[in-house]
Structure formats: structure tokens, C-alpha cells
Amino acid sequence: MPAEWEPHQAVWFSWPHPEGISFPRCYERVLPALGALVRAAAEFEPVRVNVRDAAEEVEARRWIGGGGSVEFFHHPTNEPWCRDHGPIFLLNDQTGEVVVADFAFNAWGGKYEGTALDQKIPALVAQALGLRCLAHPMVLEGGSIEVNGSGSLLTTRSCLLHPNRNPSMTQPQIEDVLRHWLGVRNILWLDQGIEGDDTDGHIDDLARFVGPSSIVTEVEENENDPNHAILQENLKALANFRDENGATLDICALPMPARRLEYEGDRLPASYANFLILNRGVLLPVFGDAKDDEAGALVESLFPGRKIVPVDCREIIIGLGSIHCLSQQQPAAPRS
């Protein structure tokens, strides 16, 4: 599984539907924000969007507008979280072949019903692209894993070891699948995710590889916030981790938003770590918050040569995810 900063052929999204569960009583509010997100991605590389049918394609085109290369695929979905229901693309280092890994998807531990269409997306994408599709019965969401492309993988115990995912599998068995299927040999475990995250602790809200031996991780300055202790424990764990070659990791602290975001009384998992790395660019979620500029400056320092584009995610985060959760990068095959 290549690192996200390696060259992409395209990036995938799945368009939401008014009857979906992701944006309760606010579907119309999120469409302008989602259109802006897709336009921003298309500035850097081709975008491919799963839509239900021709009518939904027309609707999506209306919100996305012109500019950039955007291609639509009539692949019906239940929800828009392409990182988790979409394909995990793998690259064969020897042959250059790109293949689709199709792991099981059970709606984040069976929390929601009606995911039959989402479960078909990896195979449909592989068929549309003429790629081999390799299926595995283990439940694995793309947002639960983070790789550096050279042998290390970062994840959380609260998600991958939760009994609502793979109750019959032990930690060594899960690690064995990750090693053999994703081409990693060094698996790093953090404990748990932030408050408001209904995924049981996806890593892409917590800590991200920004280089082969570099990680950016969220920290909460407010000691009275429930996330403070969680993220401090993660920070301590990261300080003791090593990369696949045994070298210590360079750890950079990324602030959490200063203001607690809520919707209808429930906390939302707003996190600057949910950025998306693209060819020549990085899309950064922002929340109209006092920490937006600080987070932007820090991310800019981590990606020299890439343009940092803030994307307002105050409406998108109502769905309990933001930019990285909605997207899935397709790596480019090496040139022969």
C-alpha cells in the first residue's frame, strides 16, 4: 500500500443521498461544501465520483461546477464515506500492477443498517478500471490504517481490535493479514480515538505519516477537554515507536480546534489531521476556528512544494467525518 504522498492517478469520492443517514436534516446544507471540496481536489489531479445514476450525476455536476477533470461512475452507494467503503489500492513493486483490495465493510462495527451497496464499491471500481480485485473477509476500513509506504503501519486498538469488527480474530491474526496484504512489517498501535468519533477511533483523526519516519499527531491544549488525556497518551506512545528500520520517529504536534463543535447536542470529531495529500497539494479541513491558521501554517511546513488549500468543513463534519474520510486516492502505476 503506497504512502499517500506518492503519485496519484486520481482521487475518488462518493456522492451523498438525501435519504442517507450521514447528514440528518441537513442534506441540502452540505452539498455546496461537498461541491467545493471536489473542485479543490480537481485543481491537483483527476477526480472520480461514484453517483447513483444519471439524475444524481446531473445534481452532482451542478454543485461541483466546472474546472479540473471530474469523471462520474454510476456506482450506487448508501453513504458517502469512500475512504471506508471504497477500494484500498495496492501497488506491486516488481511488476507495477495496481490492484484493488476488497476488505469486508460492516458499517463501522454494525452501527448502521443498509450498507449492501457500499459493500459492492471496491469490486465495481476494479471492474470499471480493468484492475484485478482481491477480496478478503476481514473487516477493515481505510480510515483505520495509515502507512508510510516503506513498511510501517499506524492504527488503533480501539478500532481494529474492537469485537464489533473481527471478533473471531486475535491481534496476531489481524497483524498477519495486514503484513501479507498491505506489504508492511512494522505495525504501530495507538490506543483510542477522539470524542465524537463513531468509528471507534480511526487513525486519520489522530495521527498521520507525513514522511517515511515523520508523524504529525493531534494534541489538545485544554486539560479539561476529554481529548486532552487521550491525545497525551498517544503522544507518549509515539515517542517510543520506531520505524521499520528501527529509527526513532520525528513527531510534530498539531493543535485541535480551540472550540468544541456540536450538532444537536452531540460532539463532532473535528480534527485537522483529516487532511488529504494530493499531487502538488494538500486539502486541509478548517472549521472557522481560532486554530485554523496555526494548523494551516504547520501543515504547510510539513509539505514543502505542495499548495495547502483550506476547505471549510463546518457542514461536512456534521456527518462525523471530513476530507480524508470522504476520499480515497488511486496510486499511479510506475512509468516503464
- List the catalytic residues: 325
Q: What is the dihedral of CA 185, 186, 191, 194, to 10 degrees?
A: -90
Phi and psi, residue 190, nearest 5°: -95, 170
Nearest to 217 by CA among 4, 230, 6: 230
Is the torsion defined by CA of 153, 268, 227, 174 positive or negative?
Answer: negative
Give the DSSP letter of residue 25.
Answer: T
Scored b (16 or more CB within 10 A) or e, 240-279 reads ebebbeeeebeebebbbbeeebebeeebbbbbbbbbbbbb
Pairing of strands 98-104, 133-139: parallel
Residue 2 · residue 239 · CB < 8 Å: no
Alpha carbons 66 and 321: distance in angstroms, whole number: 25
Classified as helix, coil or strand, 122 is helix
Residue 284 · residue 233 · CB < 8 Å: no
Q: Which three cell numbers stand for residue 43?
A: 485543481
Integer-rounded Cα radius of gyration of the chain: 18
Pairing of strands 262-263, 266-267: antiparallel
